[in-house]
Amino acid sequence: MTGPQTVENGAGAPASKPLRKLGFLTIGLFDEADPRRGHESTLEIIELGERLGFDSAWLRHRHLQYGISSPVAVMAAASQRTSRIELGTAVIPLGWENPLRLAEDLATVDLLSGGRVNPGVSVGPPMHYDTVKPALYPDTADAEDFSFERVRRLLGFVRGEAATDFSGTEGFEVFSDRVQPHSPGLGARMWYGGGSLRSARWAGENGMNFLTSSVVKAEPTEPGAAATSGTVDFAEIQRSQIREFRAHHPDGERARVSQGLVVIPTDSASAEQRAKYEAYAAKRLPRTTAPQGAGRVLFAPDLVGTSAEIAERLRAHAGFREVDEVAFALPFTFEHEDDVQILTDIATKLGPALGWERVG
């Protein structure tokens, strides 16, 4: 089933092309008293996603919380319970990681999955760094580099750059000068999760793919404009960042971008579920009306309604019109059966309404 090819919004602007890749994102919550059950639920959701025809499943990353702290391990498990669906992270905060060790883990899981891993990463100091640094970096906390250089190191290792100046045979052991195992296609499937013009530009210049979500930095919609002159319209800001990314990427307009809004279709939901979903979105709506905090973080409203209603709103969204890939985010706090209903409606109703065609 193919949706409308040309649709205009209220201002007469052209709509997006048909959706090419349909994905979803989950945080993988669990109860501290029974963490195995929560992780099993996440694996079951990924298996369901594959049965429904989703192109990708993405895992959020949480440290010292009750969500997935080791998405690479979860991807490894999921890779052995699925055969087609791509597996991604959105995102791994590299401030918690050693790039060389992470490159080894990512390549290993990518090979085990048959080349289905899509690692999404970001940089910056770990959350609550002052309280966690004695445990995380007891001897090097003040020397750690949380800049884009940390991503560049990871990219180099994944892409096969030398990690040491030593290689060859020592006794009975053979050593490589680059990370092993090496997965040749993985370097092209590295994503940067960004919400600013600066991060979009860097990701493009370094040949990464770009993950844009329901959070952006409120900044001018035109690069180089004065900070006070820019709009605070979420969709326009997101579009500006996507265009900045592609303007600096070697692939230009063909550079891959995935959008990750919170989308909650209600087509097959019960009355109780619809009420819960609407209350959830209403509680979160005030944070979308103005930039939040010193960082001027701006959130997108959650989209709740029938698939037809959501599709209409997405076609009018300036950011969505720039992409043909999505990883719709499942709400953080819902139950397993809610996720099943939402994913089923996305795959059977919303995706086709946006022009997505199931493959396999």
Q: Under CATH, which number does the domain 21-164+175-353 receive?
A: 3.20.20.30
Tens-place pLDDT, residues 233-249: 999 999 999 999 999 99
Tens-place pLDDT, residues 151-186: 999 999 999 999 999 999 999 999 999 999 999 999
* pLDDT for the residue numbered 9: 43
Higher pLDDT, 16 or 298: 298
Choice among 12-26, 93-107, 197-211, 245-259 with the minimum mean pLDDT? 12-26
* pLDDT for the residue numbered 96: 98
pLDDT above 90 (res 230): no
Q: What is the mean pLDDT of residues 273-296?
A: 96
- Average pLDDT of the residues of the chain: 93
Q: Which helix (H) or strand (E) holds 8?
A: none
Structure tokens at 15: 């709509």
* pLDDT for the residue numbered 226: 47
Choice among 58-72, 150-164, 230-244, 275-289 with the minimum mean pLDDT? 230-244
Instruction: With cut-offs at 50, 70 and 90, classify the pLDDT of residue 17.
Output: confident
pTM score, two decimals?
0.93
* pLDDT for the residue numbered 115: 98
Q: What is the mean pLDDT of residues 295-323?
A: 97
Tens-place pLDDT, residues 83-140: 999 999 999 999 999 999 999 999 999 999 999 999 999 999 999 999 999 999 999 9
Instruction: Annotate 24-44 with three-state secondary structure.
Output: EEECCCCECCEHHHHHHHHHH
Q: Locate the domains of the chain by residue range.
A: 21-164+175-353
Q: What is the mean pLDDT of residues 335-357?
A: 98
Structure tokens at 188: 């092209």
Name the DSSP letter for residue 178: B
* pLDDT for the residue numbered 231: 57
DSSP-assigned states of every residue in 61-96 = --SSSSS-S-HHHHHHHHHTT-SS-EEEES-EEGGG
* pLDDT for the residue numbered 99: 98
Q: What is the mean pLDDT of residues 305-312?
A: 98
**Number of Cβ atoms within 10 Å of the Cβ of 13:** 12
Percent of the chain topping pLDDT 70: 93
The residues, ordered by sequence, that sit 6+ positions from 56 with a Cβ below 8 Å of its Cβ are 21, 22, 23, 24, 85, 86, 87, 88, 118, 327
**Number of Cβ atoms within 10 Å of the Cβ of 8:** 11
pLDDT above 80 (res 44): yes
* pLDDT for the residue numbered 223: 60
